[in-house]
C-alpha cells in the first residue's frame, strides 16, 4: 500500500501478503527447530548446528556477477570500511556524466555482522546488477567493546556523504543517492534519512527491510500476536532482549543520549519532510510492529511511503542465500530505487 502519492505503488502483489503462519521454504523447514530453546546459555554447538539448518542456502542461489572493491570512507571516528559493488553494465549517465548511487547497511542487532554476510554481500550484489548503479555496503562500527551511539550512526552518515561526493570513483549526482538497510541496518539507514532531512542533504529515497526503529518496541497487534503464537521459541527473542540491545547501543543514558532520534528514528518528534520511503516487513516477525508503526508515522506526516509484508516469512530472510523471498525483496528494492532515481 502506498500513501500520500497520486502514483500507483511500485510493487503490486496478486496474492495475500498475510497468511497467518510461516510459509514457503521456511514453512517447509520449520520442523527442524522443534524442541530448540530460545537463544541463551543452553545453546550448545549441537543446538546451533540444528538451528542453522533452518537458514541453509537455497539452490540455485543465482548470485549475479558484479565487481567488488574494498575501500574506506573518512569519518569522525576514523576510516569506515566499505565495499563498492559495480555492475558490469552501468546505467546511462545524465548529461553531466553523473549517475545515482545506492548505500546499503547490513543488520545484526547492532552487535554483529560484516560485509561478508549474505544480507550485506548478496543484497548489494543483487541491487547493483538490477539497477545498473554502484552500491556501497557499509561496515560501520558495531556496538561492542564500549562503542555506543552515535558512533554507528556517524559511520553510516560519513559513508553516505562520501558516496554523495563520488568518493567511490564514479561521478555522482548527490541528489540521486538512495539509502537502505536491513533490521539494525534499516534503523541506521532510516537515521541517515532523518539526518539528511535536517542537514538539507536528504537521500532521494530510503528503503528498509524488517526495521527496528523504536524504543521501546511497539506492542504487537492482535493479528501479529496470533502469528507470533505459532512460532517455535527459538524464533522469538528472549524476554528483555530488546532492552539489553538498546542498552548496548545507547549506553547507560538510554533515551537521554544526544540526538536520540538519530538512534531510533521512529522516536523523532516530527517526520515531516522525511524522504520518500519503501518498507518491507516480514509477517512472522516481532519487529513488524516497529516497521508498521513507522509506516503509519510517515503517512501521518505526509511522506510518500509504500509498505508491504513478505507473507509467511520470518525475520532476516535477506541473510539466506538464494531464498526466493529474499530474491523478491531485492527485486522490489531495485524497482523502488529505479523509480525514485529516475
Report CA torsion sign: 250, 254, 256, 261.
positive
β-strand pairing of 80-87 with 135-138:
antiparallel
Does residue 132 sit in helix, strand or coil? coil
Element (H, E) at 300: helix 288-300
State yes or no: is 183 an active-site residue.
yes
Q: Do 181 and 189 meet the contact criterion of CB atoms below 8 Å apart?
A: yes
Residue 302's alpha-carbon distances to 167, 249, 297, in angstroms, are: 33, 30, 9
Q: How far apart are CA 69 and CA 63, in angstroms?
A: 17
State yes or no: is 122 an active-site residue.
no
- Cα 82-84-85 angle, rounded to 5 deg: 140
* First-residue to last-residue Cα distance in the chain: 21
Q: How far apart are CA 222 and CA 190, in angstroms?
A: 27
State yes or no: is 315 an active-site residue.
yes
Closest-CA residue to 154 (of 84, 229, 74): 74
- Cα 56-58-62 angle, rounded to 5 deg: 130
Cell of 35: 524442541
Which residue in the list 315, 317, 319, 332 is annotated as catalytic?
315
Which residue in the list 129, 139, 173, 285 is annotated as catalytic?
285
Helices (H) and strands (E) in the chain, counts: 10, 9
Cell of 295: 509506516
Which residue in the list 149, 173, 183, 195 is annotated as catalytic?
183
Q: Active-site positions?
A: 183, 285, 315
Amino acid at each position: 500500500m502506498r500513501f500520500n502519492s497520486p502514483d500507483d505503488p511500485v510493487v503490486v502483489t496478486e496474492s495475500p501478503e498475510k497468511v497467518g503462519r510461516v510459509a514457503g521454504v521456511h514453512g517447509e523447514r520449520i520442523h527442524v527447530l522443534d524442541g530448540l530453546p530460545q537463544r541463551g546459555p543452553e545453546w550448545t554447538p549441537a543446538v546451533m548446528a540444528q538451528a542453522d539448518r533452518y537458514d541453509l542456502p537455497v539452490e540455485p542461489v543465482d548470485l549475479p556477477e558484479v565487481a567488488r572493491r574494498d575501500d574506506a570512507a573518512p569519518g569522525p571516528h576514523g576510516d569506515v570500511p566499505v565495499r563498492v559493488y559495480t555492475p558490469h553494465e552501468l546505467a546511462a549517465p545524465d548529461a553531466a556524466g553523473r549517475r545515482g548511487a545506492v548505500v546499503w547497511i547490513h543488520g545484526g542487532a547492532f552487535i554483529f555482522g560484516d560485509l561478508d554476510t549474505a544480507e550485506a554481500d548478496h543484497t548489494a550484489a543483487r541491487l547493483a546488477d538490477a539497477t545498473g548503479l554502484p552500491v556501497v555496503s557499509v561496515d560501520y562500527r558495531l556496538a561492542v567493546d564500549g562503542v555506543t551511539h552515535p558512533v554507528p550512526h556517524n559511520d553510516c552518515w560519513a559513508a553516505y556523504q562520501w558516496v554523495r561526493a563520488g568518493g567511490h570513483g564514479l561521478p555522482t549526482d548527490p541528489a540521486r543517492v538512495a539509502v537502505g538497510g536491513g533490521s539494525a541496518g534499516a534503523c541506521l539507514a532510516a537515521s541517515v534519512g532523518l539526518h539528511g532531512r535536517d542537514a538539507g542533504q536528504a537521500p532521494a529515497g530510503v528503503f528498509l527491510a524488517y526495521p527496528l526503529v523504536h524504543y521501546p518496541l511497539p506492542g504487537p497487534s492482535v493479528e501479529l500476536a496470533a502469528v507470533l503464537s505459532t512460532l517455535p521459541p527459538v524464533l522469538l527473542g528472549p524476554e528483555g532482549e530488546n532492552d539489553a540491545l538498546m542498552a548496548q547501543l545507547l549506553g547507560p543514558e538510554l533515551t537521554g543520549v544526544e540526538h536520540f532520534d538519530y538512534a531510533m528514528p521512529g522516536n523523532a518528534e516530527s517526520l515531516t519532510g522525511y524522504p520518500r520511503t519503501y518498507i518491507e516487513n516480514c509477517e512472522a516477525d516481532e519487529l513488524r510492529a516497529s516497521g508498521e508503526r513507522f509506516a503509519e508515522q510517515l503517512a501521518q506526516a505526509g511522506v510518500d511511503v509504500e509498505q508491504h509484508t513478505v507473507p509467511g516469512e520470518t525475520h532476516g530472510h535477506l541473510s539466506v542465500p538464494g531464498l526466493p523471498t529474499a530474491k523478491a525483496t531485492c527485486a522490489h528494492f531495485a524497482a523502488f530505487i529505479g523509480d525514485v532515481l529516475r
